[in-house]
Each structure stands twice: as structure tokens, then as C-alpha cells.
Chains A and B, each alone.
With several copies, the nearest count.
Chain A
Amino acid sequence: MDFLELIQSNLLTPIVLFFLFGIITARIKSDLKIPDAISEFLPIYLLAAIGLHGGIEMRNTGFTAMLAPMLVAIALSLLFTLNHYQILRRLGKFNIFDSYALASTYGAVGAVTFSVGISFLDNQGVSSEGYLAAILAVLEPLAFILAIFLTNMAVSKQLEEKKKSFGSMESKIDINSGETRSNLKQVLHESITGKAIVILLGSIVIGYIIGENGFSSISIVFDELFTGAIVIFLIEMGIIAGQRLGDIREVGLFLTSFAIIIPTFNGIIGVLVATILGLSVGGSVMFGLLLASASFIAAPAVLRHTIPQAKPSLYITSALGITFPYNIIVLLPIMFTLSSFIHNSESINLFHHVTNFLT
């Protein structure tokens, strides 16, 4: 199956079609909507399913295989976040707050995108390494913590400079930097106890404990219903993305390009690096997808509190309205083609050399 066929066959899956359907639904201003309780429950369900699945696989493979990919993913995620910031601040001329918010939105990961990726591979009859769910859990809060830390640093520096000019404001600034420190601690706590991470980590642990055997009694709910559940969720995601499309003017040309080029760049790097690290065809795609994805559910919840000065319309609209559709419709097949190619062709020899050299 060549790339065009693949993008076509990917476009014509229920998941993508129902997502496009949701977008159209919103554009024609239909009153169709998935009730809140259902669309709040579905991400919890999807993460539980992903976690259980990952945990069960990790029981078979052990932890050591996970170490290198995990560390590399962390390093790349932090590097990418800093890179995004430079691009946004220097080239994009965004203010410091919007730059950090956007940088971390794209440095963070998207659990919904991950779910769609799992389903996409399933459809292609390809599997991926179970520990990727654990990497998802670890990456989720990382970019935010970095961005918040850096924002706070920057704000403190600004304040200190002001302090020098207006000696009288000292007391107030002290209060502020006190607030800043407690803020960071709070954010750390909130990030780690955020519902996405908690259900994901919990399910990984439970999957690890129960294994295939224990899973059999609940596999119909947490395995067989998975794709159907994603389809329903993507109707709602499509509707919300469609409502956001109108705001793209606000996002501007620079950010629109950013929202497409950066994921492509990050994702392709991810696929290559994962292949070097020895991940499977599917695992490399998922690794790339982790780095390519932007966060649009966790991001607002964290950023509104920690960088309230940043405009949510920027980071939500670009992540949900542009990057998410692009990732699941276009980039996913691109990365899959790439991963298949470098895993199967002779070019693999090159990578073997690199790997041998590195170890």
C-alpha cells in the first residue's frame, strides 16, 4: 500500500469520517451534540483502556526495555519545548506568556491523539510497545512544568528589574515571588494528580498486576468497545474543532504554519529516533505521534492557572482546530509510511550501524 492509498484508506476509516462529520455538523450550526457526561467519561475510559493494555504488555516485556525510550522521550520533549519557545518568541513575535503557553502546549502530549494512533495501528494490523502508555503518562505533565518554571523565572526577573527602579514596591514583590514558589509546588501537585495521569498510571499498574488472565473478564468493555468509543468521542471532538475553525483568523498565518510544521518536524524526528532505539514499526509511529501531538484537554486546565496572562484562544484553537486534525488525518499516515520504509528497506542497515556505534 503506497502513501496515497494509505492516506486515502486512513481518511475513509470510521474514526476520521466521524471526526469530519463532527466538523461539518458544527459548521452548519446543527444542534447535534454528545451529552457532556458522555464526552467527559469517554477520555477516562480511553485512558483506562490504553493503560490496561500497556500494563499487560509490560508484564511480558519487563521494565528495562522502557528505560532508554523513556529518557530519550523526556529529553526530546524538553528540547522541543525550548525550541518552540525560541521560534514563537523570536520569529513569531508573541509575548512571553503566549510563547511559553504555546511552547508547552506543543511540547506536551495529547491523549486523544494517542488513542486514535492506537486505533489506526490496529486497523493496519500492527502492534506497538506497551510501555509507550507509560511514556505518555510521564510526558503529559513535563512540558507544562518546564514552561511554568521558565515563565515564573522570567516574571521574577521582570519584577526584580522593576524593583530596582521603584524601591518602594519591595514588600509587594516579595509576596508575589512567595506566591510564585507556592504556585509551582501546587502546579506540580495538580499535574501529577490530574485525572488523565492518575487514570493512566493506575490502569498501567492494574494491567501489570492482572495480566491477560485477569483482563479476560473485562476485555469486552476495555478492548472490544475501544474503537466504537473513539468514534463517538471524535464526533464531539469534531464538533468542538468545527466551532473553533471560525477563530482561526485570530490565530494568524504564522501560528497556523507553526501548528502544521512543528508537529511534522517533531514527529519525523520521533520516528527516526525510535527506529534507532530499536522500536517496532508501530512503536516508532506512536513514539513520533507522542512528540508530534499537542495537548488540548490538559493544557487549558493547567495554563489558565499558571500562565493566566496567555490567551487560551491561541493555544486551544491551534492545538485542537489545526494540529489535531492534521495529525490524525495527514501526519499519522506519513509517519506510518516512513516507519515502514525505514524498518523494512535496506536503509535499516544504516540504522544498525548507528545503533552499534552508539552502544
Chain B
Amino acid sequence: MKFYPTKLLTITCEILAKKNILDIFTKYSVTGYTSYEVEGRGSRGLRGQGLENEKNIKVEVVISEEKLHDVVEEIARTMFTDFAIMLYVSEIGILRTEKFS
């Protein structure tokens, strides 16, 4: 089994920011992602309890290094001031490189 190094981008943000993020993915032809609801605390206080619209989500995307930078740059530029959002990158190994863009 050989694992090819690639990147995992993890974004934690308010649920109403999800649409914007998926739009950015589409713009850069990032087709795969995984997401789920979480609760969390950050600089904007406790989130994820109460109204549906107040929930937090995590979005995870296996992504090539080149696209990573474009996507992160656009998210940071267009969303960081107005939304509760946090992101980080980690190194992972995958089996087949062709599956992820």
C-alpha cells in the first residue's frame, strides 16, 4: 500500500456560511467534500444550540496543494470578516491521486 501525500482542508463555520463555501468550491472545481453539524465555541461565543440557523458545521475537503491556496485565499478574503469561521490544513496520505482535484 502506497500513500500519496496530499492536503486536507478543514473549515469550521456557522451553518449559514456553508453555501458561500460550497460556491467557492464550485468556482475552483473542487467537487468532493464531507460536512457535518457540530457545536463550538470561538471568538463569537458559543454556537450550535438553539435555532437551526445558529448551528456550526465542519466542512472537510481532500484537495491538491495548488487548489488549496486559491480556495483558502478566497475564503479568507471574502468571509473572514463577516462570518464565524475557522480553518486549518493538515497532511494526509491517500491511495489514488487521480480521485482528488
Contacts and interface: CB of A to CB of B under 8 A. Distances in A.
Determine whether A and B are in direct contact in the complex, meaning some CB atoms lie less than 8 angstroms apart.
yes
Interface of A: 33, 36, 39-40, 239-240, 243, 296-297, 300-301, 304-305, 308-309, 316
B43 to A, nearest CB: 13
Quick one: which of B17, B52, B54 has the most chain A CB within 10 A? B52
B16 A305 contact: yes
Contacts of A243: 49-50
Contact of A304 (B49, B50, B52, B53): B53
A301 B82 contact: no
B19 interface: yes
- Assign chain B's interface to a size class: 10 to 19
Contacts of B16: 300-301, 304-305
A243 B16 CA distance: 20
A305 B50 contact: no
Contacts of B53: 297, 300-301, 304
Contacts of A316: 51
Contact of A297 (B17, B20, B51, B82): B51
A33 B51 contact: no
Contacts of B17: 304
16 contacts: A36-B52, A239-B50, A240-B50, A243-B50, A297-B52, A300-B51, A300-B53, A300-B54, A301-B16, A301-B53, A304-B53, A305-B16, A305-B20, A308-B82, A308-B83, A316-B51
A305 B49 contact: no
A33 B49 contact: yes
B50 A309 contact: no
A221 B50 CA distance: 24
A122 B49 CA distance: 32
Given A305-B16, A305-B19, A240 B51 contact: yes
